Amino acid sequence: MTLLIRHGTIVTATDLYRGDVFVDGEKIASIGTSLDLPADRVIDATGKYVLPGGVDVHTHLDMPFGGTTSADDFESGTIAAACGGTTTIVDFAIQYRGQTLHHAWETWAGKAEGKAAIDYGFHMIITDLSDQVEQEMDALVRQGISSFKLFMAYPGVFMLDDATIFRALLRTGKNGGTICMHAENGGVIDVLVKKALAEGKTAPKYHALTRPARAEAEATHRAIALAEMADVPIYLVHLSASEALDMVAQARDRGLPAFAETCPQYLFLSEENYDEPGFAGAKYVMSPPLRAKRTQADLWRGLAFNDLQAISTDHCPFCMKEQKILGEGDFSKIPNGAPGIETRMSLVYDGGVRTGRIPLNRFVELTSTSPARIFGLFPRKGTIAPGSDADIVVFDPEKTVRLAAKSLHMKVDYNPYEGRTVTGATEIVISRGRVIVEGGRFTGRAGAGAFLKRSAR
Ligand SMILES: [Zn+2]
């Protein structure tokens, strides 16, 4: 099967030019101006951008949390991702206490196999680091799971102490893995939550009020300091607060390999959303929580000046009906998370590129190239170049879409951006040479996505 995409504007993290892309099988075979090659299918991309498929390195599909499971499984979640222009995800497998990492991998592989419509990798969440598990980390890195997520929050469930975190960091200095950190001070948050509940403060907004920005900044600073002492890089997930961004910026100014991502929800929503009537604030209960509106400008500046290197989604949807409602009367029982896997590219294009906050190349870099690089997928993923996987998005910069839960593909009964209009939308999506989205419709196949063996640093 061959494919010729003609007359588009090809955009990578570094280049922008008019050209044609020729796809042979699963790979990009050549790029040129006026390529005159016979192809099984010709796509006219006049007036459109030809982008590398989006890479979303933070998703939680089919994930158990607080007695329920995130609403999208690997089928609905990856179909939604594809419809939004994302062709690669890296999801999180969870090692529960007493389990081996391999057991966790098997469990999550079972969730994805036969279901994923796009290619996927896994980070491994470590909750129990015995000597044997440390050795297993090395094996996982060799087998393509080259990053590990640790938590400084959720005591009694996911949280690790500093000594354990430090041991894991040291280990990545030997095996070439990367530690991803959920940086919030879980101990402090726990005390604040108990205090609020004892005072009868049970509404969704208290989720945010008990997770202060300083708790994120403190943990961010501590995570970076531990990584500095271990002499290894570190990647901070879902950075949400200006105070935490300051910590990353200061570290980078000192030349430390500290990396961080933020998410669209922190760029487009704010703590004011928690004041929506009744229980509606529960839609935005996620950790870290939404912050003050002024934070948004700081995060955009961080993205523009490379103190933040990636935009991922932390897609972790729970329906209001039957799921979020578990926390009616106690905000601490509201499942944490919100949908976003499908809306990332359009939101960031509309709110970032069209407003002039970031250039078009930077948009590609933040949503595809840089996460692919950091997590060992580049140049197979994250760019348009001969030899790279033919993961390509034909993007219409003029198309306007009204975001609504009803018309999106995510299996969740609300959308945090309901009614918002965005300009710039995915038109055709190609995954390893196959057209899987066309005219807003998914035309691919569940199970066609492959597990990605990612390289070490
Ligand atoms: Zn997450």
Q: How far is the CA of 443 from the centre of ligand 1 (A)?
A: 29
What pLDDT, on the 0 to 100 scale, is given for residue 355? 98
* Weakly modelled stretches of the chain, pLDDT under 70: none
Cβ neighbors of 305 (< 8 A, separation 6 or more) are none
Distance 441 CA to ligand 1 centre (A): 28
Q: Is 131 helix (H, G, I), strand (E, B) or coil?
A: helix
How far is the centre of ligand 1, averaged over its atoms, from the C-alpha of 12 (Å)?
Answer: 27
Q: What is the pLDDT of residue 165?
A: 98
Ligand 1 centroid–CA 107 distance in Å is: 18
Tokens 């075979």 belong to 29
- Centroid of ligand 1 to alpha carbon of 59 (angstroms): 6
State the distance from the centre of ligand 1 to the C-alpha of 69, rounded, in angstroms.
14
C-beta of residue 25 within 8 angstroms of C-beta of residue 1: yes
pLDDT (tens digit, 9 = 90+) per residue, 59-89? Answer: 999 999 989 999 999 999 999 999 999 999 9
In sequence order, which residues have a C-beta less than 8 Å from that of residue 202 and are 6 or more positions away?
Answer: 196, 329, 330, 331
Distance CA 402, CA 396 (A): 15
Helices (H), 331-416: 344-348, 360-364, 370-374
Angstrom distances, CA of residue 369 to CA of 212, 277, 310: 32, 40, 9
- Most distant pair of Cα atoms in the chain: their distance: 72
DSSP assignment of 39-105 equals: -SEEEE-TT-EEEEPEEEEEE-TT-EETTEE-S--HHHHHHHHHHTTEEEEEEEEEPPTT--HHHHH
Q: Residue 286 Cα, ligand 1 centroid: separation in angstroms?
A: 9
- Closest Cα to residue 375, out of 310, 303, 330? 310
Q: What's the CA-to-centroid distance between 109 and ligand 1, angstroms? A: 18
Tokens of 7: 């007359």
From the CA of 385, how far away is ligand 1's center (Å)? 31
Identify the DSSP state of 451.
B
State the distance from the centre of ligand 1 to the C-alpha of 237, rounded, in angstroms: 7
Q: How far is the CA of 380 from the centre of ligand 1 (A)?
A: 25
Residues with CB under 5 A from ligand 1 (ion): 314
How many angstroms does the Cα of residue 270 sit away from the middle of ligand 1?
18
Half-sphere exposure of 109 (CA within 13 A, CB side): 12
Compute, in angstroms, the gap from residue 181 CA to the centroid of ligand 1. Answer: 10
Buried b (16+ CB within 10 A) or exposed e, 18-27: ebbbbbbeee
pLDDT of residue 66: 85
- Using the mean position of ligand 1's atoms as its centre, give its distance from the Cα of residue 199 in Å: 29
CA 316–ligand 1 middle distance (angstroms): 7
User: Ligand 1 centre from 117 Cα, in Å?
Assistant: 21
User: Which stretches of 337-420 are DSSP H helices?
Assistant: 344-348, 360-364, 370-374
Residue 56 · residue 261 · CB < 8 Å: no
Distance, CA 62 to ligand 1 centroid (Å)? Answer: 13
Q: Which one-letter DSSP state was computed for residue 368?
A: I
- HSE-CB of 120 using CA atoms within 13 angstroms: 33
Query: What letters, b where the CB count within 10 A reaches 16 and e where it falls short, cover 194-229?
Result: eebeeeeeebbbbbbbbbbbebbbbbbbbbbbbbbe
Q: How far is the CA of 425 from the centre of ligand 1 (A)?
A: 25
Cα 60 to middle of ligand 1, angstroms: 6
Distance 358 CA to ligand 1 centre (A): 25
Distance 431 CA to ligand 1 centre (A): 25
Task: Copy the structure tokens of residue 330.
Answer: 């106690």
- Determine the 3-state secondary structure of 16 from DSSP: strand
pTM across the whole model: 0.98
CA distances for 449 relative to 87, 145, 340, 431, angstroms: 9, 17, 20, 8
CA 30–ligand 1 middle distance (angstroms):
37
**341-377 confidence digits (pLDDT tens):** 999 999 999 999 999 999 999 999 999 999 999 999 9
